[in-house]
Amino acid sequence: MAICKTCFRHCDIPEGGLGFCGARTCEHGVVTAANYGKVTSLALDPIEKKPLARFHSGSMILSVGSYGCNLRCPFCQNYEISWSKEAFRFAEKAEYVSPEELANIAESCRSRGNMGVAFTYNEPLIGYEYIRDAARLVHERGMYNVIVTNGTADLSVLKEIAPYIDAMNIDLKGFTDSYYKDVLGGDRGMVMDFITEAVKRCHVELTTLIVPGENDSEDEMRELTRWVAALTDADGTSIGQTIPLHITRFFPRFNMTDRSATDIDQIYRLVDVAKEELQYVYKGNC
């Protein structure tokens, strides 16, 4: 039995068992990634789809996903591989792709405009060891590494992977503790700490999905963007106003079909509110 320190949950994992995320296990008293190298999704995507609006625009990137997640967002877009009965079936069928093989595949796609690898689809940081090992090899081939994450990870995880990561899109799903805890099953403080450190190490863009009746008020958006605007780089220089924010539209899905899609006019209003503090604000799913 061992305690996993990857995120705030600190799961006490029995030998051969799994943590809350479904992707970390205990082997000989040591916590390891049960999903190491187990790939459920592999696709060549536009970089803008991550979404990254201000990082090598116009490029393609090889997107890779595994299985498992440490949140329980009821509207999950990728529930089939993140958290559901289907996700655990995918775990059994996932194909092993070694770090070397992934780097080779990425390099072979250069002729199609590929600029590197994006670790995405499920929550990648619950398998950070694979990211660390594969991203290092991708860098050695002169290519870039991107992570699309919910940011629910200990800073020790960031320290492990930071030397090999060039950009991240991090979900800042809302700006109240109640929303994070009661709706998402998460910890807002951990995400804020992760973002605060990540912006000191690589290019970061943020995404906020606007869910009707949950995080859609102008007051909450003002609080969120004021916090982002105050972020600084490693030298203490203010950079927050230039961090891109993607404000995206919710559609009923998975376990949250009790409400309509976010009103498009509301997205436009919240974009205008966000622009009071931030230079680069993008609407999504509209």
- End-to-end CA distance of the chain, in Å? 47
Distance in angstroms (rounded) separating the CA atoms of residues 209 and 262: 9
For residue 40, the model assigns a pLDDT of: 93
User: Is residue 191 within 8 Å of residue 155, measured between CB atoms?
Assistant: no
* Section 120-135 average pLDDT: 98
Query: Distance between CA 242 and CA 223 in Å, rounded?
Result: 17
Q: Are 257 and 203 within 8 A, CB to CB?
A: no
Decide: 200 and 233 in contact? Cβ < 8 Å: yes
* pLDDT digit string, tens, across residues 21-51: 999 999 999 999 999 999 999 999 999 999 9
- Residue 90 has a pLDDT of 67
Tokens of 43: 């696709």
Residue-level pLDDT at 158: 98
pLDDT value of position 267: 98
Both tokens of 103, joined, read 């780097």
Please report the pLDDT score of residue 92 as a whole number. Answer: 76
Q: Are 182 and 228 in contact (CB under 8 A)?
A: no
The structure tokens listed for 208 are 């906020």
Residue range 160-181: mean pLDDT, rounded: 98
**Do residues 51 and 282 make contact, with C-beta atoms less than 8 angstroms apart?**
yes
* Angle in degrees, 0-180, between the axes of helices 218-229 and 264-274, rounded to the nearest 10: 40
3-state secondary structure of 277: coil
User: What percent of the chain shows pLDDT beyond 70?
Assistant: 98
Task: Please give the helix or strand (H or E) that residue 267 lies within, else none.
Answer: helix 264-274
**Dihedral sign computed on CA atoms, order 41, 245, 210, 154:** positive
> Which tens digits make up the pLDDT trace of 60-99?
999 999 999 999 999 999 888 888 777 677 677 789 999 9
Tell which residue, 167, 149, 175, 150, has the closest CA to residue 270: 175
CATH number of 37-284: 3.20.20.70
Q: How far apart are CA 223 and CA 277, in angstroms?
A: 10
pTM reported for the whole predicted model: 0.97
For residue 213, the model assigns a pLDDT of: 97
